[in-house]
Structure 1
Amino acid sequence: MRILHTSDWHLGQHFIGKSRAVEHQAFLTWLVQQVVELNIDAIIVAGDIFDTATPPSYARELYNQFIVQLQPTGCQLILLAGNHDSVAVLAESKDLLACLNVQVIPSVTDDIAQQLCLLNNQQQQPAALVAAIPFIRARDVLQSQAGQTERDKQLSLQQAIAAHYQQLFSQAEQYNLEHKLALPIVMTGHLTTLGVSLTESVRDIYIGTLEAFAADQFPNADYIALGHIHQAQQVKGATDIRYSGSPIPLSFDEAKQQKQLWLLEFNGKEKQVTSVPIPCFQPLLSIKTDLVSLESKLTSALADLAADQRLWLEIVITETDAYLTDLQQRVEELCADLPVELLRLRRQRALATAGLAQQGQQSLAELTPADVWQARLAQEQLTDEQKQQLTQLHQQVLATVEQGEA
């Protein structure tokens, strides 16, 4: 049994005014090729298929085209909702896609058996069980209780999520027992686990008051396929817990990461996990420098650029030159005849007050819409539920605006 673990596609994302449609199309085409070349039996997408709850039409088209292109391979596809995904959007085509070898899990269900997916190998023999858990919202597993402290809420939510995992794991074990099988059990999730490395593109997840889920609370499954964190990594724990990361860089601080998938190979209960590197479909880079060194650093950065490529660029000018009033003009002149697109110019400034170094204020041009929204939200006295609802509404409005601009 050969399974690919991926997550956090964020179809429909706009990156500082740039559409990622071309990159996502290239990735999905490449992914179908990997299914054929690596003889893959199943793909697990561990959440955040779309970037917003109201994905633009071209993002939905990419999603549908991928499923159509995957169909002739016979590869099974399991799609889980993340915190960016709309339960309604994923659920609307769930029954139709079930006829195309696709299982969609948009939310946790009252009938937990519906979250248990049987995977067959190419000989149509049972080869693995997937205990499919999408992004869990507090209201999915908890009843609101008056008078609880924040610490009590966090503890209750962590216990409820752990109980849901254990209940579904027990269902998988019971299935093996009833059918006299010893199938490996793969569990999924879309959350932050303690001890992981974050990047700036990972937005607040808002699972009630839960900041991170302890790794030792996961059941002892054969593999736990997680989404939400955009950097591929393995979490230290008693079982094999991994994030696949996003397939393309979603922020400049991810630019130097080698994006990847995890390939799981099961031979009975024996398991092997290897990394499958993903090609870079659109180079991007952040350069931190003073103005004098900028030209040489640009030359070095462009040395390996293919003839038909343009580099998406962020330039961070250090304190020495950050106060220049004509900085934007000078940088643009240096970039004018080069195969680059300057998406963001930032000034790194420091102010000394009472002997303490304080970070200077950023201009609006240096902030993303998400940065501005979170700063505005922080000024209000709101519950976590209100923050989540308002953030979802903001994402819907932002998606509509960006779709119109595109």
Structure 2
Amino acid sequence: MRILHTSDWHLGQHFFGQTRQAEHVAFVDWLLNLVVEKEVDVLLIAGDVFDTGTPPSYARELYHHCLAELSKLKVQCVVLGGNHDSVAMLNESSGILARLNITVVPGLMTDPMEHVIPLHNRQGTQQAWLCALPYLRPRDLVVSQAGQTQQQKQAQLLDAIQQQYHSIKLLADQQAKRLPIVGTGHLTTLGASVSESVRDLYIGLLDAFPADAFPDFDYLALGHIHRAQRVAGSEVMRYCGSPIPLSFDEAQQQKKVLLVDLLANGLVDVTEQEIPEFRHLMSLKTSLAELPKQLENLAQKASKQWPAWLEIRVDSDAYLSDLQPRIEALTAELPIEVLRIRREHQGSQEGLAQIQEQQLQELSVEEVFSRRLALEELDEAQREALVLLHKQLLESLVVESDEL
């Protein structure tokens, strides 16, 4: 059978005030064509279907449209909740979707057998079992105790996640009848590379789960990390990444989905399928002198239908009051929309002192954090781990506020 592994659609995302609706519609159309072309039997969405717990109406409509079209194609679908998704919202339509051969697992279920799902090909023959585990919220797994240290809380949570995986895998083993078993997860896994230089993190994080603590699956379909990659070099543990770049630092990534081929004796092959770039995103670091030529070159990668979205970082030590009008004049006749303008200091000053020379509105939360971090004496692995944890904490705050 053939499984299409996807994750982190983030339907409904707003990007510096811009909607991603056109890109998501284009992705869904491309995905439906791919399902037909590659004769896919099962579609997995490994969490973060939506960007917030209260997505806009177009995002909900697109979600249901996509699933309805897949049902017409006799493709089985499994939708898993992620840390950005609302359990209650995903659960609203799960009963109706179940009649269309679509299983929604929004969160940790009361009955453990609801996480053990038979997977069928388009002819209706069962070919595998799925241990369908979504994002596991700490509050569903552990109860904090007075006097616990951060390390004790961390150990308690990681142990609870491991027990959850092994208990669900045991239930699947009891049902397996020599069929392969696929696992899922929406979490940060130690051994996942967070940069193009393929550096692995081996530092304790509250939300990070050791790769060797997973049970043995024939394939493990992971979500939450937005760049497609193997975990710790494994062929069977994979992140597929997000289908569109969700931040400027993802702009240079080639986005992918994964085609997973299984036979009765296990995994046969995993094929990376590149997703077209619907809209060109770029973070451009330049000088005012070089900017006009660079904008002309970038305009060739865009169109009126798909204008390029830019972040422009201008090298300048002085505050330029007319910087934005200058850039607006340069891009007025080009298929380019500048979403953020920042000044990059050429001097050697570091840390928080540099912030005082810039207006607060020019800096993001991440930039303030990174400049404060620069003052600390840390090795590279520790620095990367803290940046990742800061990002996860910000995401959790956004989700919790959406669910209030």
Shift of the alpha carbon at 1:239? 6.5
TM-score by length of 1: 0.85
Q: In the alignment, residue 285 of structure 1 is paired with which amino acid?
A: M
Distance (whole Å) between structure 2 residues aligned to residue 13 and residue 47 of structure 1? 15
Answer with 239-248 or 259-268: which moved more. Answer: 239-248
Q: 2:354 aligns with which of 342, 350, 360?
A: 360
Partner of 1:290 in structure 2? 287
Q: What pairs up with 1:312-323 in 2 under 5 angstroms? A: 312-319=309-316, 323=319
Which residue type is aligned with residue 341 of structure 1?
A: E
2:310 partner SS? strand
Query: Which residue is equivalent to 1:118?
Result: 118
Q: Which amino acid aligns with 1:394?
A: S
- 1:91-147 CA distance string (max 9 Å, x none): 111111100110000111232111011011123221111100000011211122221
Find the aligned partners of 1:327 and 1:387 in 2 and give their Cα distance: 30
Aligned to 2:252: 256
Q: Give the counterpart letter for 2:228 in structure 1.
A: A
* Aligned match of 2:399: 392
Deviation of 1:82 after TM superposition, in Å, equals 0.3
What is the rounded CA distance, in whole Å, between the counterparts of 2:158 and 2:341 in structure 1? 41
Q: Give the 5 Å matches for 1:4-403.
A: 4-176=4-176, 181-198=177-194, 210-236=206-232, 240-268=236-264, 269-306=266-303, 308-319=305-316, 323-349=319-345, 360-361=354-355, 363-367=359-363, 391-395=398-402
Q: Distance in 1 between matches of 2:23 and 2:396?
A: 30
Check whether the contact 2:12–2:55 (CA below 8 A) recurs between aligned residues. yes
Structure 1 segments unaligned to the other structure (5+ residues): 200-208, 376-385, 398-406
**1:388 & 1:239 partners in 2: Cα distance?**
29
Instruction: Evaluate the alpha carbon distance shift between residue 25 and residue 389 of structure 1 in structure 2; reply closer, same or farther with a 3 A threshold.
Output: closer
Q: Write the distance in 2 (CA, Å) between the matches of 1:306 and 1:250.
A: 20
SS at match of 1:82: coil
Give 1:303 deviation, angstroms.
2.8
**How far has the Cα of 1:255 moved from its partner?**
1.1
Change (3 A) 1:197 1:331: farther
Partner SS state of residue 162, structure 2: helix
Cα pair 1:3 1:40 within 8 Å, conserved: yes
* Residues 216 and 237, structure 1, Cα contact 8 Å, conserved in 2: no
Counting matched residue pairs gives 372
- Runs of 5+ unmatched residues, structure 2: 196-204, 371-392
Of all paired residues, the percent bearing the same amino acid is 47
> CA 1:239/1:165 → structure 2, altered by over 3 Å: closer, same or farther?
farther
Moved over 4 A (4+): 350-353, 356-359, 370-375, 386-390
CA distance in 2, matches of 1:307, 1:390: 36
**Alignment check: 8 A CA contact 1:220 1:238 kept:** no
Q: 1:350 to 1:193 in 2, by over 3 A?
A: farther
Change (3 A) 1:327 1:396: farther
- Give the counterpart letter for 2:232 in structure 1: K
Separation in 1 of the partners of 2:187 and 2:95? 26
